Structure 1
């Protein structure tokens, strides 16, 4: 199975689900877009990329 490398917001407690913005995960082809979202999420939660949201590289594949 092959996939496309994308960037997504990830949290140690929430995982890839962004509870207060979207229903489910959000992925970006460009890291700059993911970083902007991560900054916004961390500002809202009063956290930083060490204890809160982070931009992580992941692989997007089609569900069977």
Structure 2
């Protein structure tokens, strides 16, 4: 399944202070974009050097 997820060059898909695990969205929608904006505001970064939305593949772990 192809999904959109927040990704960071240093943290990868692991969102600091998120105890629920990785977050993924079926579409590139306003909830994901707001999440990216909030993560970048907290980190003092922008979508070029910090958090950004990336298309990825979600698979079941073996």
Give TM-score, length-normalised by structure 1: 0.84
Unaligned regions of 5+ residues in structure 1, if any?
A: none
Corresponding position: 1:34 with 2:26: no
Aligned to 2:18: 21
- Runs of 4+ with >4 A deviation: none
Count of matched residue pairs: 61
Comparing both structures, which one devotes a greater share of its residues to strand?
Answer: 1
Deviations 1:5-29 (A, max 9, x none): 1000000000000012234311111
Unaligned regions of 5+ residues in structure 2, if any?
A: none
Aligned to 1:56: 54
Distance between the aligned counterparts of 1:36 and 1:43, measured in 2? 10
